[in-house]
Structures are given as structure tokens and as C-alpha cells.
Structure 1
Amino acid sequence: MSRRGWALFLAMSLIWGIPYLLIKVAVGEMSPVVVVFGRCVLGAALLLPWTVARGQLRPALRHWKALLLFTVLEMTGPWLLLAYAEQSLSSSLTGLLVAGVPFAAALAARLAGEEERLTPVRLAGMGLGVVGIAVLLGLDVGGAQLLPIAAVGLVVIGYATAPLIVSRALPDVPGVAASAVALVVTAVVYAPFALPRLDQVGAAPATALLSLVTLGVLCTAVAMALFFALIREVGPQRALVITFLNPAVAVLLGVLLLDEPFTLGLAIGLPLIVLGCVLATRRNRRTAAEVPPPVDTPVP
């Protein structure tokens, strides 16, 4: 990847590793639906005025069908399904299942006719990433039920296919505009369930409110804009490799901020994840047979 690509990749790996900590603090005082609704409202409040001021809202809405599909696959559906699934699944199993997103993305790209192929090196990198996540978080399948696992499976499908929509159907829509529309739609969907519970916000302590604000501003508004830039810089498949590093960042934050122990799993799993990300994001070398001939050279 280019330097810009690596910068965006590392920024997204960090930013989307933080929500685990913030959500844990926020849902201790507010219901999950209020947290999700507040996150969307804060994100939309920042991105929508910017979109309108730059005259990007109306051009973005011309692609309303693709935007709606992206919204359902990236936000509205996954956030609700994850909240449901984690009521019964362990966080380790959920994290490992979500770490399968790059594999699902690779399959979706092949089915969609994407040109870039998966080399053995990139496949090995993805495999190392999954092994690292398994070592890092552990795998707890005791008492796991079929429906929650299926719900996370749908989340994986959504996260894997949404970036393809960005690269194929929304290439000319600015990331801020697309994110603003998606956040508004998601907030409207959650509003009937969250509004009757808004009294929880007024009763929440400062730590929970600060967590919610950070979640909405940094991990939603800023993150979604960067995510679009990352997709367009490195492609949808490489962009999703951040799902390997996000749980690692969450565990490191737990060690540093919550005094959680630095375990053997962390010592072994984190290097595997980093190495897997390096290999999985390598740009393919084009062979001589794949390099197109010059325009003025006849093809034999």
C-alpha cells in the first residue's frame, strides 16, 4: 500500500478498536438502543451540515438506492444484529466471527467480478489474522445458540458487501455525504425505540456521556469519512483487513486503561495479527501476462 493507504489503515484500526471500551462504559448506564441512536444523531449532526454547505446532499441523493443498500448493510442491520447476538454469545466468539469479514469480502469480490485476485501470500495473511484473533480473544462456544451465530453471520455478510457498493455504485459520492445520509436513515429507524428512553441520558454520569460523545464524534463521524477514503485508496478487500486489528486494539486498551493482565494470548496473538495484516494487504505483483500491451502494439 501507499503511505496514505497505510496511514488511513492504521488510523481506522485504532479508531474502530476504541468503541469496545466506549460502548462498555456507555451501556452500563444507558440501554444499547439509546447508545446506538445517540451515536447516529451525533455523527449526523456533524456530517450533515458539512454535506449541505458543500452542496453535496442533492447529488448524493441521486444515488439513493445504492446509499440505502449501503446503509442497511453497513449500519442499520449490523448494529442491531450485533446487539442481539452479544446478549448470548461471548465477546471472543463474536470477535472471531466478525474477523471472518475479509474472507467473505474476497468471496463477494470474486462473485462480483472484481479483477484483483487473492494470491497465496494474501490468503496466508488472512489465515494468520484469524489465528491471531483466536489466540488473542479465545474461543468460547459453550452454550452458543444457532440464531445468534446466524445473526453474526449476517453481520459479516453486510460488512463484507457494503464496501463493494461504495467502490462500484458510489465512486463519485463523497464519503462525508454518503455517511451523513446513512447516519440520518439509521437514526430515523432507531428513533421510535430510543426516544421513549432518552431520560437515561439525563441520568447518566459524566463518564458515560463522554463515552457516548466520543463514540458519536470520533468513532462514527470521523471514522465513516476515513473509511470511505480507505476503501477508495486501497480497495474494499484490503480496507476490511482492519477487522483483524480492531480487536487487538481493544485488548491493548483494556490492558492500559482497565488494568487487565497482559496475557500469553496477547503476547502471541498480537504479532500474528500484525504479520497477517502486512501480508493480507500486499499489493499484487502483475505478471507479464497480466500487463496490458501498449495501445499501439497489436495483440498477437
Structure 2
Amino acid sequence: MSRRGWALFLAMALIWGVPYLLIKVAVGELSPVMVVFARCVLGAALLLPWTVARGQLRPALRHWKPLLAFTVLEMTGPWLLLSYAEQTLSSSLTGLLVAGVPFVAALAARLAGEEERLTPVRLAGMGLGVVGIAVLLGLDVEGLALPPLLAVALVVVGYATAPMIVSRKLPDVPGVAASAIALTVTAVVYAPFAAPQLDEAVWAPADALLSVLALGVLCTAVALALFFALIREVGPQRALVITFLNPAVAVLLGVLLLDEPFTLGLAVGLPLIVLGCVLATRRSPVRSARCELSDVDAAVP
């Protein structure tokens, strides 16, 4: 991998481990609806003009039906559910639970008839990851309410299935264009609910406002642009490896900056989940074009 490739890789591994921290800080002062609305407005304000300038908006809108499905599964639903869940769950625990995406994605691809088969190594990885999540849940969630855990479970399903829509229905739509449209649609959906809260949100504490700003600019607009640059530089298979490091970053930031406890569940579950992800998403040497495309859109936390 070139120096530029390593720089992009490390940047993405860090950037997409940060949103869990920022969401946790933001929902301490702002409603989940306001957090999602502000994030989408900021991201769309940066990516939509770029998409229009490149002449990609009109061609992308011809595929509006699969784009709408992608939007709901990747952003509109998951981002609100994540913000809701982090009102109760720690950022580190949320990040680790979302690490279950590769397992659900592998299962969904198999059920949908994707050409790749579940090899013994991948099955072992899925089993290891499930054990890690079970250890994490068994040791760390005593006394927590069920709704936030179910919310994260729905996030995992959305993140796991949205890329299948991209690979099957949107192969000719650039990732940044799809993201710009999804951000815009999500902002419009939440605008009527966020509008009554705008006056109150403006006077929120500075740390909450700065968290939303960083979430929209750095972890959404900039991150999406860098991610597709990384794909062009190193290919989709290597680019996907960042998803193995994001949970570790989320745990580290939660412990260091939010004084979240480094529990026994985290200590045991984290390595099991990361190793399980590596094995469960291991690709065979010969890959089809469809399999390559399925790697292009990773889950955006």
C-alpha cells in the first residue's frame, strides 16, 4: 500500500470510530431528531453542490426508488436510532454492538443468493463474533432497558442490508452522489420535527454544538469523500478493513474522553468481535464483479 493509501486508511479508521463519541455528547443536550437533522444539513450542504457541479445529480435521480430504500436503511432510520440508543448506552458499548454488521451482512448476502459461499473460516468468524457479542451483553448490560438494545439491533440490520441495494440496484450511481441525495432527503424528512426545537438548540452548550458540527462536517461529508478516495487508491477489499478498527477507536475514545469504564465485557468482547469480523468478511481469491461492488458502501455510524 502506498503512503497515500496508508494515510487515507488510518484517517478513515479514526474518523469513523469518532461518531459514537460525538453522538453521546450531542444527545446529552439535544434531541435525537435535532442531532440527525443538523448532521444531515451540514453534510448535504457540502456534498450536494459537489454532486451538482459534477453533473451527477440528474442521472442519479433516475434511480430514485432504490435510492430511497438506501436512504431509509443507511441514514434516515439508523442515525435516529443510534442517537436514541446513546441516550442510555455508552458510546463504547454502542460502537461494539454495531460491529455485528459484518455478520448480518454475510448472512443477508447468503439468503439473497449472492455468489459467495459461507466457507468454514467465515462461519467460524461469525460464530466467534456472536460469542463476543454474547459475552459483551452478558457482562455489561445488566440493568439496561431493552428498547435501546433493540434500536441498535435495527441499526445493524439497516447497515448490513443497505449496501446490497447499492450493489444490485445502483451500480452506476457514484457513492458521493448517492450519499448527497440520502443526506438531503433525510434532512427534509426530519425538518418539520426539528424546526420547533431550533431556538432551543441554538443556545445549547458549546460542546454539544461543536459535536454536531464535527459530526456533520468531518464524520459525514469529509469522511464520505475520503472513503471513496481510499477505495480508488487501495480497492474495496482493503478499504473495508477499516470497519475492524472503528469499534476499537470508539471504545478507546469513550474510556479516555468520557470516563466510560473499561469493563470486563469490553476487555473480553472487543478482541473476539474484531477477530470474528476479520474472519467473517474474509474473501475468496476469485471474486465476482457483484461481490466487489458490495464492499464499496460501508456503514456510516
Q: TM-score normalised by the shorter chain: which range applies?
A: 0.7 to 0.9
How much has 1:74 moved relative to structure 2? 0.7
How much has 1:29 moved relative to structure 2? 2.4
Pairing 1:183–2:183 present: yes
Paired residues of 1:70 and 1:166 also in contact (CA < 8 A): yes
Pairing 1:102–2:68 present: no
CA distance in 2, matches of 1:46, 1:194: 20
How much has 1:92 moved relative to structure 2? 7.4
Residues 100-127 of structure 1, C-alpha deviation per residue, up to 9 Å, x if partnerless? Answer: 3222212221222211122221232333
Distance change in 2, residues 1:91/1:20 (3 Å)? closer
Distance change in 2, residues 1:74/1:9 (3 Å)? farther
Paired residues of 2:76 and 2:186 also in contact (CA < 8 A): yes
CA distance in 2, matches of 1:163, 1:234: 13
CA distance in 1, matches of 2:173, 2:32: 31
Distance change in 2, residues 1:139/1:261 (3 Å)? closer
Structure 1 or 2, whichever has the larger Rg, is 1
How much has 1:167 moved relative to structure 2? 1.3
Structure 2 stretches lacking a partner, 5+ long: 287-301
Q: Tell me which residue corresponds to 1:64.
A: 64
Aligned CA-pair RMSD: 3.5
- Secondary structure at 2:52's aligned position in 1? helix
CA distance in 1, matches of 2:26, 2:269: 28
Residues 217-253 of structure 1, C-alpha deviation per residue, up to 9 Å, x if partnerless? Answer: 1111133345567789436xx94982x5433211101
Distance change in 2, residues 1:240/1:83 (3 Å)? farther
Q: Tell me which residue corresponds to 2:119.
A: 119
How much has 1:62 moved relative to structure 2? 1.1
Q: Tell me which residue corresponds to 2:195.
A: 195
Distance change in 2, residues 1:77/1:274 (3 Å)? closer
CA distance in 2, matches of 1:118, 1:241: 22
Structure 1 stretch displaced more, 7-16 or 33-42? 7-16
Q: Which amino acid aligns with 2:165?
A: I
Distance change in 2, residues 1:81/1:157 (3 Å)? same
Q: Tell me which residue corresponds to 2:36.
A: 36
Q: Percent identity?
A: 83
1:140-289 map, 5 Å: 140=141, 142=143, 144-145=145-146, 149-226=149-226, 233-234=235-236, 239=240, 242=243, 245-260=245-260, 262-285=262-285
Report how many aligned residue pairs link the two structures.
283
Paired residues of 1:241 and 1:277 also in contact (CA < 8 A): no
Distance change in 2, residues 1:80/1:261 (3 Å)? closer
Q: Tell me which residue corresponds to 2:295.
A: none
How much has 1:75 moved relative to structure 2? 0.8
Distance change in 2, residues 1:152/1:263 (3 Å)? closer
CA distance in 2, matches of 1:231, 1:112: 25
Paired residues of 1:135 and 1:268 also in contact (CA < 8 A): yes
CA distance in 2, matches of 1:266, 1:93: 8
- Secondary structure at 1:198's aligned position in 2? helix
How much has 1:159 moved relative to structure 2? 1.3
